[in-house]
Amino acid sequence: MSKIELQEQSRQTVLAIRTKTSVEALPNLIGESYMKIINYLHDLEEQPAGPPYTVYYNLDMQDLDVEMGFPVAKPLSDKGEIKTGEIPPGRVVSYLYTGPYSGMEGPYNQMFQWIQENGYEPTGICYKYYLNSPDEVPEIDLQTRIVMPLK
């Protein structure tokens, strides 16, 4: 049974930080960005409407264009680098991966192969939704939903 699914993604309002970074600095940047957004949501007396995510707008490991954020129930006011935005609707391919973050190359390759074999074209953007955290579960039990929008 394949873990790859073709789905329609709904439009989702988000609160996010978009920046550029190197792959080496990414883990700390993700954690810091999530904390800034959570603290801001707390100040607004709001809650995330879903799990945190990171969007990769390119795969240049020395100059990654990334966005870290949380889905929210409604548009909220911007605050400095924290901006209201949206995840656009559309057809996507998703894969629910369980295991350490360092092991995602296999699922990515399987997704790219599935997309090609089924006649689709990726947009070049990739989302990762973190369904649990290394603070909560052992690395082997981490769950990440990888989502690739299609053209």
Q: What is the CATH number of the domain that holds 85?
A: 3.20.80.10
pLDDT for residue 60 is more than 90: no
Domain count, the chain: 1
Using alpha carbons, select from 6, 116, 108, 114 the residue that is nearest to residue 56.
Answer: 108
Q: What is the DSSP string of 54-70?
A: EEES---TTSEEEEEEE
pLDDT for residue 1 is more than 50: no
| pLDDT computed for residue 67 by the predictor | 98
Lowest mean pLDDT among 29-33, 101-105, 109-113, 125-129: 101-105
> What percent of the chain clears pLDDT 90, i.e. is strictly above it?
91
Structural domain harbouring 45: 4-149
CA distance 5 to 95: 6
Lowest mean pLDDT among 37-41, 59-63, 102-106, 114-118: 59-63
pLDDT for residue 2 is more than 70: no
